[in-house]
């Protein structure tokens, strides 16, 4: 059975009136699922279409290096302390 890992997805949003870079940590089975989840989250939260997002990097994150508090609490093996 596959193991759920934490991925950090970095990219850029190019909307006509809104341009910014983002970095999002998500739990997923593989990098493709992590990319799909970021598309889903940013699309629903910020009304960004997929063609307006450019993903630069998807990297697996060590449980001790997780920055997102919620993802850290959900991940076994991560420290419970908040930085």
Model-level pTM? 0.87
Please, are residues 60 and 6 in contact by the beta-carbon 8 Å criterion? yes
DSSP result, 25-37: EEEESSHHHHHHH
Structure-token pair, residue 45: 């939260």
Q: What is the pLDDT of residues 23-68, one digit of tens each?
A: 999 999 999 999 999 999 999 999 999 999 999 999 999 999 999 9
Question: Does position 6 have pLDDT exceeding 80, yes or no?
Answer: yes
Residues 5-74, CATH architecture? Roll (3.10)
* CA 6 remoteness from chain centre: 8
| Domains of the chain, residue spans | 5-74
> Alpha-carbon distance 70 to 12, whole Å?
23
Residue 43: strand, helix, or coil: helix
């Amino acid at each position: 059975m596959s193991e759920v890992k934490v991925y950090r997805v970095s990219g850029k949003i190019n909307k006509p009136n809104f341009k910014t870079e983002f970095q999002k940590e998500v739990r997923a089975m593989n990098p493709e699922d992590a990319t799909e989840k970021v598309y889903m989250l940013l699309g629903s939260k910020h009304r960004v279409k997929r063609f307006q997002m450019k993903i630069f990097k998807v990297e697996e994150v060590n449980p001790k290096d997780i920055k997102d508090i919620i993802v850290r609490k959900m991940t076994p093996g991560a420290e419970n302390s908040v930085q």
